[in-house]
Amino acid sequence: MVQFVEVCAMRKGIFIHVTSTDRQRLEAIVRDPKSAQKQVWRAWVVLLMANGHGTAAIMAETGKSKTTVWRWQERFMEEGVDGLLRDKTRPPGIASLDRATVERVVAVTLKPPPHETTHWTGRAMAKAAGIAVSSVQKIWSEHDLAPHRWRQFKLSNDPAFAEKLHDVVGLYVSPPAHAAVLSIDEKSQIQALDHTQLGLPLKRGRGGTLTHDYKRNGSTTLFAALSIAAGSTTTAPSDRS
């Protein structure tokens, strides 16, 4: 039996041999309504090339990129029709990090960075921990860490601050039986301010308004108590000073 072979030139150094048997199989793939679409256009790429179409024409006909056309032409050259019917095994993804590494990254993140750096960056942490930047970002995201963000706060210099904090918070968490817990804070020398004009009330399509300027009426000291059970307040402002 005589078998005809079609030889088609592609890029330099790459040649594809399409036998009559190959053509029959490729055409059967294209015609079969049960064929996967990705297999259909792969077969069509080789058939168009076998019919003398150049890369640009194949791209226009199939809607695929140049690299895609070349990839499947090369696959056919190396593995024949069978190579078009399967996808190559993809390399495995990044292995999950062990718990010790994760805990170490979290612990180091919570400490000041070395030298004169103001905060940890993903690249700096990746270099210090010996892992990928993407792994550092994943750890930070999972542990809700954002070293680049700052929030101002003030801590007490009292050496017994932690013990006092536990004592105060403990009253709210577990108050003594039949006892009322009151929270008291001071707010002295309050500026008595008044807007120069009355604001407009809220209405549909427009929010309430307030003037940007105000007048000072001195200062006062306000004493107030809130009854949580009754939902009422008791106030006692001092005379204006």
pLDDT per residue rounded down to tens, the chain (241 residues): 434 444 454 555 567 778 888 889 999 998 888 888 888 899 999 898 888 888 888 888 888 888 888 888 888 888 888 888 887 665 555 567 788 888 899 888 888 888 777 788 888 888 888 888 888 888 888 888 888 776 665 667 888 888 888 988 888 888 888 888 777 766 666 677 777 777 776 555 556 677 777 787 777 777 778 777 788 888 887 765 5
- pLDDT at 7 (0 to 100): 45
- pLDDT at 55 (0 to 100): 85
- pLDDT at 120 (0 to 100): 84
Tell me the pTM. 0.36
- pLDDT at 204 (0 to 100): 56
> Per-domain residue ranges for the chain?
5-84, 99-142, 161-199+212-237
Q: How far apart are CA 176 and CA 187, in angstroms?
A: 28
Contact 94, 135 (CB under 8 A): yes
Would you give the DSSP letter of residue 160? T
Q: What is the enclosing helix (H) or strand (E) of 236?
A: strand 232-237
Amino acid identity of 168?
V
Q: What is the enclosing helix (H) or strand (E) of 67?
A: helix 66-79
Q: How far apart are CA 114 and CA 109, in angstroms?
A: 11
Tokens of 190: 């309050």
- pLDDT at 197 (0 to 100): 78
Q: How far apart are CA 168 and CA 165, in angstroms?
A: 5
Distances (CA, A) of 134 to 112, 121, 186: 21, 12, 48
- pLDDT at 95 (0 to 100): 61
At 94, is the secondary structure helix, strand, or coil?
coil
Q: How far apart are CA 105 and CA 37, in angstroms?
A: 46
